[in-house]
Amino acid sequence: MVAKVRIRGELLEYLLELSRDFYPNEFAGFLREKDGVLEEVLIAPGGYFGPTSAFFNTWLLPLDGEIKGTVHSHPDHVCQPSPQDLWFFSKFGGFHLIICYPYSLEDVRAYDSEGNPVEIEVIP
């Protein structure tokens, strides 16, 4: 079981900005890790970002061994994974961030591929 996800503070701030910019729709992306720290977000081209879901064709993603997780926003106050989120988590192992409205640092949750909560460590 994963005990902690490490994320660069600059990336976390950017993810919060993206969540605010996409509101009232969800946003979703894939997280790239370098040396054990989540450093970048990839947003697949041609995605659909709606008020209750986001989806994209994963065939359009690059073959990239540094993709270690996902991120998506919830345009409501619920930061818990839905059944659809849990299914998605199981397909893209690693770490999964959910950022819920109103998109502050306190509104970010991390989960493992089974939906268990994971501690977040912000790296300057």
SS (H, E, C) 34-49: ECCEEEEEECCCCCEE
CA distance to 14, 29, 69, 91, 107, per residue, from 6 (Å): 15, 17, 12, 21, 16
* 66 catalytic residue (yes or no): no
Looking at 13, 26, 66, 119, which residue is catalytic?
A: 26
The set of catalytic residues is 26
